[in-house]
Structure formats: structure tokens, C-alpha cells
Amino acid sequence: MKYLCLGYLNKEKMDTLPKEEVDAIMRECQPHLQELYKSGHVLVDAGIGQEVKRLQRVGGEIQVGEGHLTQTDKIMGSAFILEAASFEEAIRVASLHPTVQVGLAEQLGWEMEIRAIDSFDMKG
């Protein structure tokens, strides 16, 4: 089974940090990412850009909007897909990710959402 894991952060809290501190936090993420990758379960990992465009059909035409679909104080910062035998194993593997391993994660409002993927097709 495949699982989509979405990492979120509190942008306001992250934006208050000086660039040097953000860079140090990102360096702290690297060993955790290496452990995650070494697990052999990660199929795709992507850091997510902060610019957001929404698409929706209105009056038979596609309209492009600005901003997030959900109104929350958190934004998506990472996404990865992993393969695991069960939800419990997916949780165990996903728990290697910096979102829940980095010391300042709690203070900065980092959290993760894990969802089972019902269908998956990778063109390559």
C-alpha cells in the first residue's frame, strides 16, 4: 500500500527566524531525511514551494485563484509518498521525517498528515 505524507509548518513562526537560523534548522533535517531514505520505503519526496494557485470550474470555465484551499495558520512544506505493508508501518517510517524529529519542530508548528493512497500511477 502507498501512503501520502504531507508536512505542514506555521509560516508566521518560520518567517520570524533569521535566515541563518532557518538554514541551521534545514541542516538539522538532513540526517533525518537520510534515515528516512535508507528505510527503502520512500518512493517520492518533494519540498513544496509557497506560491499557490487554485483551479476550479465556475460557470463552465476554469478559473484560477490565489491562496490555499483551506484556511489555516499552517501551510504545506513537504510531501512524500512511501510504500508500507500497513498504516502502522507507514507511521513508523514517516516518523523518521524531520517534521517530527527536529528539536524546534514543535515550537515552529510543524506537523504531518498521513493518508492512504487509493490509486497510484507513475508515468516514466
CB contact at 8 A, 114 and 90: yes
Domains of the chain with CATH codes: 2-116 (3.30.70.1060)
pLDDT at 24 over 80: yes
- Digit-coded pLDDT (tens) for 36-92: 999 999 999 988 877 777 777 888 888 887 766 565 778 888 999 999 999 999 999
Confidence (pLDDT) at 31: 95
Surface-to-core class of residue 93, CB atoms within 10 Å of its CB (0-12 exposed, 13-18 middle, 19+ buried)? buried
Which residues contact residue 32 at a Cβ distance below 8 angstroms, ignoring those fewer than 6 apart? 96, 97, 98, 101, 102
Confidence (pLDDT) at 52: 74
Percent of the chain, pLDDT > 90?
54
Predicted model pTM: 0.83
Averaged confidence pLDDT in the chain: 88
Determine the average pLDDT of the residues in 90-112: 90
Top-confidence residue, 67 or 18 = 18
pLDDT at 16 over 90: yes
